Amino acid sequence: MLEIEIDGKKLTVNQGITIMDAAHTAGTHIPHFCYHKKLSIAANCRMCLVEVEKAPKPLPACATPVTDGMKVHTASPLAKKAQAGVMEFLLINHPLDCPICDQGGECQLQDLAVGYGNSSSRYQEEKRAVVGKDMGPLVSAEEMSRCIHCTRCVRFTEEIGGYQEIGMANRSEFSEILPFLGKTVNSEISGNVIDLCPVGALTSKPFRYATRAWELSRRKSVSPHDGLGSNLIVQVKQNQVMRVLPLENEDINECWIADRDRFSYEGLNSAERLQKPMIKFDGKWHETDWQTALDYVVKGLNGVANDHGKDAIGFLASPHSTTEELYLAQKLARSFGVNNIDAALRRSDKRVAAAQQGALWLGSSIVELLAAKSVLMVGSTQRQEQPLLASRLRQSVKKGMALNVIHTSDDELLTRINAKLIVSPLALVNALAQVLKAAVEIKSASTTLDLSAANVGAEARAIADSLCAAESAAIVLGNVAQHHPAFAELLSLAQEIGRVTGARFGIAAEAANSVGADIAGVNPQRGPLGKTVSAGIGVSEMLAAPRKAYVLLNSEIEADAYNSQQAVAAMKQAATVIALTAFKGEALLDYADVLLPIAPFSETAGSFVNMEGKLQPFNGVVRPLGETRPAWKVLRVLGNMLNLSGFDFNSAEDVRAELLAHGDIAAALNNQLTSVAANVVADGTLVRIGEVPMYQADAICRRAESLQKTAAAAAPVIALNPQDIAKLGLEAGQPAIVSQGEAEVRLQLVADAAVAAGAVRVAAAHPATQALGGLFEPIQIKRG
């Protein structure tokens, strides 16, 4: 510990910290631009110059380590003169076009210029002008004359984004911030540079000129997309969401959010928003009032129940729904006598629900995962599933975590990978079994699983070594594993490896409320907080053996199901499809019979339970659009209209309280299966890798226009390993035809060495591929 003094205040601080850090603990503000607590120190802006006694010249607080007895003056005449000098330099070439600048009102340069600058300039020479740059559909770099060269954006892309996509070219006052020549900025977390840019050089393209910052109200919320549960500030004006920013939460999203969290709000204001209840009769859609629509629903449900029995009804709820909506949906279904309810819509392995003993979750807190010394990610297309978690894992690797990968494609993770096994989906179980086998050997342990078909390769051995040697290790199953037909086996193996090595294991929950759905009891075998219920069937069976009636909550099943071909067929044959939805999508209009307009997360109170089992409540940030109602209210009314008891809630909080009265969330989280099983024999059939593209993950982001213009949202292609292309006599760069079942889809064929041999990578959930079948099922391919 060191004794120092800042502006006369005595402090005891840790060795190794900077004057800036020390000032922060003392609550003293030192002006700065380039300094950012999450980025490396650049010390280039020089705004933070302070006086240090005995130092011959002012020193940059952000880069100067404290020393014992140091006496710092942050606002002495010398410090102030130095700061004013820097401010003058920053302004001489600045266009001072604040009145037409989007950053106006939230510009650090503007703010500090008021405090540290002069009202007139001594600079009478010509000002520099810098031409605008194209960074893509999300980040605007039109007015680069405003740039103050703090290089925060450069450091962000390199250090947090994982790949330097922005650089500073040229020298001296001709220095320019730009993306690589001819390239845009494609990072899945690129929007953070907008927040980082202290001036109006990098601004939000979708938000540009929409409004002034001071006209916006700030409301807290939680991201409805992936399972990380990033905390948000949603900014609204006149009952409309105008912009989304990160709300700092060190344990979850730090001060960042992914582009999906930031720019999806455009979907909330989409023209496809359903604003009135609608009923289809005579083959046509008719807008109607709530009463008529709800009567119709009640009649429909009763009718099917009477004619075909309650088992002919299925409830399919999106895991992007709130906990309260999910809780009420299962309460309504079960009180009505329907046990068929599920929210794990893309899960194809029904064995998991039968064997699980609690809500599947990460197996630790996010912070604990990030602190693990060794992590094995299984079946996770990390950067598109949980973009920010992928970034945080990269930071952990820098601090010494060994990151191991078992996956179906060798994607660029922008970090050092300790060991990896890239195999066809049909060999995933075998790959994980190899690791178990190696771990059993290393630990001289035993297992009941038959591992004779697993031949331990060098990479599997390295993974096992890494897990065994680490003082803390974790195995995490991603979306590919969770959607995989052998999810139960993969989970079994993870459980066994965990048992043998001491590693924790769990899943990186796919959706904002995947864990919440399990907790709320939207599971065919388990009620709220694990309460025993009469078992029903899950989504895979409900679609394989079609029901007469479906109730969809927040789901566009043609994009949300494991097998969209099968799902759409099931919807089409049903007597009635009742959709509680915020959007009137094309497919829904085709197969549904009633559309009830419900509020998206921004227009209702509710909560999400993130992958680590943390329940995060939020309030609506704007009023429901048109005649939209929060789904919990709709379900409450429906419950009453169906004469079910216990549907008298006054608020979403009431609903939550009833759920939580069943028990404790933490105690309900459990990844242990009652019994483990695994068929380790790998199969050589040509099989599909069907992942959900980043911006097709849920109904809101599907409608976010700017996200849909990004490279990540490009039309799906068929990607194959070049060797397979040659073997199959195909030609890359030409269209090819893939087929599953009856359906054929013609797409561009791309050679991609990252794709595992024996696999055909064709994205799912996209309109272009919805005709296809299961995500990890056999697939045929021919020249097209």
Partner 1 sequence: MAVFVNGVIFEGVDTAAPDCWRLEAYMARGGYQALKKILDNKIPQEDVIAEVKNSGLRGRGGAGFPTGLKWSFMPRSFPGDKYVVCNTDEGEPGTFKDRDIIVYNPHALIEGMIIAGYAMGCKAGYNYIHGEIFEAYELFEEALDEARKAGLLGQNILGTDFSFDLFAHHGYGAYICGEETALLESLEGKKGQPRFKPPFPASFGLYGKPTTINNTESFASVPFIIRDGGQKFLEAGKPNNGGTKLFSISGHVNRPGNYEIPLGTPFATLLEMAGGMKDGKKLKAVIPGGSSAPVLPGEVMMELTMDYDSISKAGSMLGSGAVIVMNEDVCMVKALERLAYFYHEESCGQCTPCREGTGWLYKVIHRIANGEGRDGDLELLESVGNNMAGRTICALADAAVFPVRSFTKHFRNEFEHLITHKKALVDHKWC
Segment interacting with partner 1 (CB under 8 A) among 168-176, 621-629, 640-648, 662-670: 168-176
- Cβ atoms 142, 136 nearer than 8 A: no
CB of 65 or CB of 337, closer to partner 1: 65
What are the φ and ψ backbone dihedral angles of 195, each rounded to 5 degrees? -65, -35
* CA gap 575, 293 in Å, rounded: 16
Q: Under the criterion CB under 8 A, does residue 42 sit at the interface with partner 1?
A: yes
Look at residue 379 and give the partner it binds from ligand FES, ligand SF4, partner 1, none, a contact being a CB closer than 5 to 8 Å depending on partner kind: none
Q: Under the criterion CB under 8 A, does residue 93 sit at the interface with partner 1?
A: yes
Q: Under the criterion CB under 8 A, does residue 149 sit at the interface with partner 1?
A: yes
Residues paired with 406 in a beta bridge: 378, 421
Q: Considering only residues 63, 75, 298, 544, which one is a binding residue for partner 1 as defined by CB under 8 A?
A: 63
CB of 190 or CB of 288, closer to ligand SF4: 190
CA torsion angle 112 116 119 125 (round to 10): -90
Q: Under the criterion CB under 6 A, does residue 43 sit at the interface with ligand FES?
A: yes
CB of residue 185 to partner 1, shortest distance in Å: 18
Q: Where does residue 210 rank: exposed (0-12), middle (13-18), buried (19+ CB within 10 A)?
A: middle
Q: How many Cβ atoms are within 10 Å of 670's Cβ, its own excluded?
A: 16
Bridge-based pairing state of the strands 284-287 and 780-783: unpaired
Separation in Å, CA 1 to CA 22, 23, 24, 59, 727: 12, 15, 16, 22, 66
CB of residue 119 to ligand SF4, shortest distance in Å: 23
CB of 59 or CB of 725, closer to partner 1: 59
Segment interacting with ligand FES (CB under 6 A) among 32-40, 384-392, 513-521, 690-698: 32-40
CB of 32 or CB of 280, closer to partner 1: 32
Q: Under the criterion CB under 8 A, does residue 171 sit at the interface with partner 1?
A: yes
CB of residue 94 to partner 1, shortest distance in Å: 10
- Cβ atoms 377, 474 nearer than 8 A: no
CB of 74 or CB of 492, closer to ligand FES: 74
Q: Considering only residues 2, 75, 78, 92, which one is a binding residue for partner 1 as defined by CB under 8 A?
A: 92
Residue for token digits 């001036």?
199
Q: Under the criterion CB under 6 A, does residue 47 sit at the interface with ligand FES?
A: yes
Residues whose CB falls within 8 Å of the CB of residue 404, separated by 6 or more in sequence, listed in order: 374, 375, 376, 377, 417, 418, 419, 420, 462, 463, 466, 467
DSSP per residue, 229-268:
--EEEEEEETTEEEEEEE--BTTTTBT---HHHHHTHHHH
CA nearest neighbour of 483 among 384, 547, 569, 563: 563
Give the binding site for ligand SF4 (CB under 6 A): 147-153, 177, 196-199, 201-202
Structure tokens at 331: 């309460």
* CA gap 166, 784 in Å, rounded: 39
Q: Under the criterion CB under 6 A, does residue 45 sit at the interface with ligand FES?
A: yes
CB of 198 or CB of 425, closer to ligand SF4: 198
Q: Under the criterion CB under 8 A, does residue 172 sit at the interface with partner 1?
A: yes
Q: Considering only residues 32, 36, 46, 262, which one is a binding residue for partner 1 as defined by CB under 8 A?
A: 46
Structure tokens at 340: 């068929």
* CA gap 461, 699 in Å, rounded: 41
| Angle subtended at Cα 283 by Cα 279 and Cα 284, rounded to the nearest 5 degrees | 55
Segment interacting with ligand FES (CB under 6 A) among 30-38, 603-611, 641-649, 747-755: 30-38
* CA gap 536, 147 in Å, rounded: 60
CB of 92 or CB of 587, closer to partner 1: 92
Look at residue 105 and give the partner it binds from ligand SF4, ligand FES, partner 1, none, a contact being a CB closer than 5 to 8 Å depending on partner kind: none
Q: Under the criterion CB under 6 A, does residue 46 sit at the interface with ligand FES?
A: yes
CB of 167 or CB of 502, closer to partner 1: 167
Q: Considering only residues 4, 19, 21, 35, which one is a binding residue for ligand FES as defined by CB under 6 A?
A: 35
CB of 47 or CB of 542, closer to partner 1: 47
Q: Under the criterion CB under 8 A, does residue 16 sit at the interface with partner 1?
A: no
Q: Where does residue 479 rank: exposed (0-12), middle (13-18), buried (19+ CB within 10 A)?
A: buried
CB of residue 259 to ligand SF4, shortest distance in Å: 17
CB of residue 57 to partner 1, shortest distance in Å: 4
For helices 458-469 and 487-501, what crossing angle results, to 10°? 50
Q: Considering only residues 88, 159, 410, 627, which one is a binding residue for partner 1 as defined by CB under 8 A?
A: 88
Q: Under the criterion CB under 6 A, does residue 757 sit at the interface with ligand FES?
A: no
Residue for token digits 């939805």?
581
CB of 44 or CB of 748, closer to partner 1: 44
Question: Residue 214 corresponds to which amino acid?
Answer: W
Look at residue 196 and give the partner it binds from ligand FES, partner 1, ligand SF4, none, a contact being a CB closer than 5 to 8 Å depending on partner kind: ligand SF4
Separation in Å, CA 652 to CA 259, 328, 632, 721: 29, 10, 7, 50
Q: Under the criterion CB under 8 A, does residue 126 sit at the interface with partner 1?
A: yes
How many chain residues bind partner 1 (CB under 8 A)?
A: 39
CB of 45 or CB of 245, closer to partner 1: 45
Q: Under the criterion CB under 6 A, does residue 32 sit at the interface with ligand FES?
A: yes
Q: Under the criterion CB under 8 A, does residue 82 sit at the interface with partner 1?
A: yes
What are the φ and ψ backbone dihedral angles of 581, each rounded to 5 degrees? -150, 155
Look at residue 153 and give the partner it binds from ligand FES, partner 1, ligand SF4, none, a contact being a CB closer than 5 to 8 Å depending on partner kind: ligand SF4
CB of residue 34 to ligand SF4, shortest distance in Å: 7
Look at residue 147 and give the partner it binds from ligand SF4, partner 1, ligand FES, none, a contact being a CB closer than 5 to 8 Å depending on partner kind: ligand SF4
Which of the residues 206 through 235 are near ligand FES (CB under 6 A)?
A: none
CB of residue 245 to ligand SF4, shortest distance in Å: 16
Look at residue 152 and give the partner it binds from partner 1, ligand SF4, ligand FES, none, a contact being a CB closer than 5 to 8 Å depending on partner kind: ligand SF4
Structure tokens at 194: 């907008």
CA nearest neighbour of 412 among 252, 187, 720, 258: 187
Based on its alpha-carbon atoms, the radius of gyration of the chain, rounded to whole angstroms, reads: 28
* CA gap 745, 773 in Å, rounded: 11
Binding residues (CB under 8 A) for partner 1: these are: 41-47, 49, 56-58, 60, 63, 65, 82, 85-86, 88-90, 92-93, 122-126, 128, 148-149, 151, 167-168, 170-175
Binding residues (CB under 6 A) for ligand FES: these are: 32-35, 43-48, 60, 62
